[in-house]
Amino acid sequence: GQQLNQSPQSMFIQEGEDVSMNCTSSSIFNTWLWYKQDPGEGPVLLIALYKAGELTSNGRLTAQFGITRKDSFLNISASIPSDVGIYFCAGRSIQGAQKLVFGQGTRLTINP
């Protein structure tokens, strides 16, 4: 099946630092989504991207739909303790339009 390669798998940062993570696919995607999962909860949608080159912000979060349509990036600026969690990219390809495939997740840990 289709695979998304998300990196890094984990990050350990100091409070206040900026964070970057990315996701790549082997095929062209029409939609990129970024989710956050807190312990014991379901993933919650952060940002949705629908157009190549699109750059969208949600507070301190910014995500971009790569020009090649095979990648996406998520940046978090000035991290705070509540940013801790697992971040997932998800995408919809042309071939598999009826489902979202997910990356392996990036586990973010913040030292106060």
Partner 1 sequence: DTAVSQTPKYLVTQMGNDKSIKCEQNLGHDTMYWYKQDSKKFLKIMFSYNNKELIINETVPNRFSPKSPDKAHLNLHINSLELGDSAVYFCASSQGRLAVQELFFGEGSRLTVL
Can you tell me which of 19, 21, 90, 110 binds partner 1, judged by CB under 8 A? 90
CB-side neighbour CA atoms (13 Å) of 91: 32
Q: Does 39 bind partner 1 (CB under 8 A)?
A: no
Give bridge partners of residue 5 from the DSSP assignment. 24
- Window contacting partner 1 (CB under 8 A); options: 20-28, 35-43, 58-66, 67-75: 35-43
46-55: long-range contacts, CB 8 A cutoff, minimum separation 24:
46/74, 46/87, 47/74
d(CA 68, CA 52): 7
Residue closer to partner 1 by CB (options 31, 77) is 31
Total binding residues toward partner 1, as defined by CB under 8 A: 26
Can you tell me which of 20, 30, 62, 77 binds partner 1, judged by CB under 8 A? 30
Residue closer to partner 1 by CB (options 78, 97) is 97
Distances (CA, A) of 32 to 24, 60, 103: 10, 18, 11
Residues forming the site for partner 1 (CB under 8 A): 1, 30-31, 33, 35, 37, 40-45, 48, 86, 88, 90, 92, 97-102, 104-105, 107
